[in-house]
Amino acid sequence: MSRVVTILGSTGSIGKSTLDVISRHTEQYEVRALTANSDVDTMALQCQQWRPRYAVMCDESAAQRLHDVLRQQGSDTQVLSGVQGLCQVASLDDVDTVVAGIVGAAGLLPSLSAAKAGKRILLANKEALVMSGQLFMDAVAKHHAELLPVDSEHNAIFQCLPSVSDRAINKSGINKILLTASGGPFRTFTKEQLAMVTPKQAINHPNWDMGPKISVDSATMMNKGLEVIEAHWLFAVAVDDIEVIVHPQSVIHSMVSYADGSVLAQLGNPDMRTPIAHALAFPDRIFSGVEPLDIFEVAKLEFEKPDFQRFPCLSLCYEAIRMGGAASIVLNAANEIAVAAFLDNKIAYTDISVLIEQTLENVAIDQDVSTIEHILVVDHQARDIVNQYIARKQ
């Protein structure tokens, strides 16, 4: 029997990689719904190939354009729009698998809808856990959803754990989670060089093919910090038991250190199709399209400690977990706005961490974040404040 899939963010790198894997196993997977923000051209091509029952565009004007294009093509795909449309296709009765590949806070509500509908969720949207960790994990447990990590690092950790039924590491003889990081394109840059970084340089990742926002996050190591927060919630692990290790080759995707002295690692070529295929077929294995790792070609593996002085965003993420409350929500919101401003040449690369720190200092961290409504209020507060800071810089 085939699995029926909704892909949230089908025009992004995760969505395209998911469709590439599915294209190799069309007898096992049926695409029911695709969603995107505003990329009408790519979505129209995807609808033409996959013939989903639903296509959702977050942008309403883009939804209307897509509707017109599909009708001209003779397609009967139903076009929906906005957050309501995203949540609808994430919780369809006949869908059993939801790929959560929307970047940023925009992915929170549809991912949460999938959890409340008891779906198998392939989570690539780390912000869902960064913003609403306890709320999200409670929803997964209450509604008997199945949460499978797609981020390469968390998928690697998941593969190295001894039990798929109990992820709490304090019950599994585990000492520490070792979260690997490539170090990004500026791993060897001095502080002076970092001050001169351009958006074009920042989106040119040495190992991974990602969208602009995630590429900048990788460059600042904010992406790794968000992954620390994600691991904290996914695996019920204390922040002090998560260690970031810079590994430039991106061959070891993460490791788990055990009490008996063993360290288990998951290796592979840096290609998101591997963790996607693992999560799609779990507990089975399917061909992903990725070439097997040639260990002789790799030749050597290097490891370094992260430099928290040159990459303060990583330090801010650890601090946010320790602060608790609304800190992670504020951190994420401030980073999203700051990165967008950097990509738009409104601020310098080194301003990103400064703006995040200023925002953390000026939004009340002890606010109630027990409901999605409260979480979104804090998110808006943080965005307003960081936008004010950016406006003063103009």
Q: Write the pLDDT tens digit of every residue in 295-320.
A: 999 989 999 999 999 999 999 999 99
Looking at the DSSP assignment, which residues form a beta bridge with residue 56?
Answer: 35, 80
Residue 212 has a pLDDT of 87
Query: Of how many residues is the chain composed?
Result: 394
In the chain, the domains with their CATH numbers are: 3-149 (3.40.50.720)
| pLDDT higher than 80, residue 169 | no
pTM of the model: 0.92
**Tell me: the pLDDT tens digits for 234-261?**
999 999 999 999 999 999 999 999 999 9
Q: Cβ-count burial of 256 within 10 angstroms (0-12 exposed, 13-18 middle, 19+ buried)? A: buried
Give the angle 181-164-143 at the CA atoms, nearest 5°.
Answer: 105
Residue 208 has a pLDDT of 64
pLDDT band at 167 (very low <50, low <70, confident <90, very high): low
Q: What distance in Å separates the CA atoms of residue 390 and residue 17, rounded to the nearest whole number?
A: 35
pLDDT band at 126 (very low <50, low <70, confident <90, very high): confident
3-state class of 246 per DSSP? strand
By mean pLDDT, which of 138-142, 160-164, 335-339, 376-380 is the weakest? 160-164
Higher pLDDT among residues 165 and 82, named by residue: 82
Q: Which long-range contacts (CB under 8 A, 24 or more apart) does 44-52 make?
A: 44/69, 44/70, 44/73, 46/10, 46/11, 46/19, 47/75, 47/77, 48/73, 48/75, 50/19, 51/75, 51/77, 52/77
| pLDDT higher than 60, residue 166 | no
Q: What distance in Å separates the CA atoms of residue 357 and residue 164, rounded to the nearest whole number?
A: 37
* Average pLDDT for 365-371: 93
What is the pLDDT of the chain when averaged over all its residues? Answer: 94
Instruction: Judge contact between 112 and 132, C-beta under 8 A.
Output: yes
Residue 207 has a pLDDT of 64
Q: Which two tokens stand for residue 197?
A: 């970084």
pLDDT band at 206 (very low <50, low <70, confident <90, very high): low
| pLDDT higher than 70, residue 164 | no
Looking from the CA of 94 toward its CB, the CA atoms found within 13 Å total 10
Looking from the CA of 110 toward its CB, the CA atoms found within 13 Å total 37
Q: Which two tokens stand for residue 312?
A: 């303060």
Looking from the CA of 392 toward its CB, the CA atoms found within 13 Å total 7
Residue 334 has a pLDDT of 97
| pLDDT higher than 90, residue 127 | no
| pLDDT higher than 60, residue 211 | yes
